[in-house]
């Protein structure tokens, strides 16, 4: 089972460039999430999608946009990358329901120079 698949694994961008991080899950989960992980900050929620067709802002949404393309896919777009967006990005998915655990992808290490 693939679980949650993120692409790419590594990326270097120049300031002002745009890119889209891709995430797909094959577990038929309703909810999907994008987090960023920075040293000393833990995981901070950027956006989440409780179900297909809905998206909501998390704790740190500025500078990002998302698309829930279908039930499987949830992409994160940086329109104009900034050095402050250098981070490790994780996608996660979970079944609907408060008691359900989340499953994480392997992460995308993004550096903006």
Partner 1 sequence: GDSVTQMEGPVTLSEEAFLTINCTYTATGYPSLFWYVQYPGEGLQLLLKATKADDKGSNKGFEATYRKETTSFHLEKGSVQVSDSAVYFCALTGGGNKLTFGTGTQLKVEL
Alpha carbons 61 and 23: distance in angstroms, whole number: 17
Count of residues of this chain found to bind partner 1 when the rule CB under 8 A is applied: 28
By CB under 8 A, residue 53 contacts partner 1:
no
3-state secondary structure of 64: strand
Residue the block writes with tokens 């901070």: 44
Parallel/antiparallel/unpaired status of strands 4-7 and 19-25: antiparallel
- Beta carbon of residue 64, minimum distance to partner 1 (angstroms, whole number): 16
By CB under 8 A, residue 27 contacts partner 1:
no
By CB under 8 A, residue 19 contacts partner 1:
no
Query: Residue 84 burial (CB < 10 Å; 0-12/13-18/19+)?
Result: exposed
- CB of 18 or CB of 54, closer to partner 1: 54
Residues 17, 43, 61, 67: which binds partner 1 (CB under 8 A)?
43
Using CB under 8 A as the criterion, which residues of the chain lie in contact with partner 1 when the complex forms? 4, 31, 33, 35, 40-45, 48, 50, 56, 58, 90, 92, 94, 96-102, 104-107
């Amino acid at each position: 089972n693939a679980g949650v698949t993120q692409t790419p694994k590594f990326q270097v961008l120049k300031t002002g460039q745009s890119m889209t991080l891709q995430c797909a899950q094959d577990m038929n989960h309703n909810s999907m999430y994008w987090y960023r992980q920075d040293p000393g900050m833990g995981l901070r929620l950027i956006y989440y999608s409780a179900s297909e067709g809905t998206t909501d802002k998390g704790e740190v949404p500025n500078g990002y946009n998302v698309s829930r393309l279908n039930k499987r896919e949830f992409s994160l777009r940086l329109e104009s990358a900034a050095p402050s967006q250098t981070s490790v990005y994780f996608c996660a998915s979970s079944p609907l329901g408060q008691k359900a655990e989340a499953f994480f992808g392997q992460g995308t290490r993004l550096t903006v120079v």
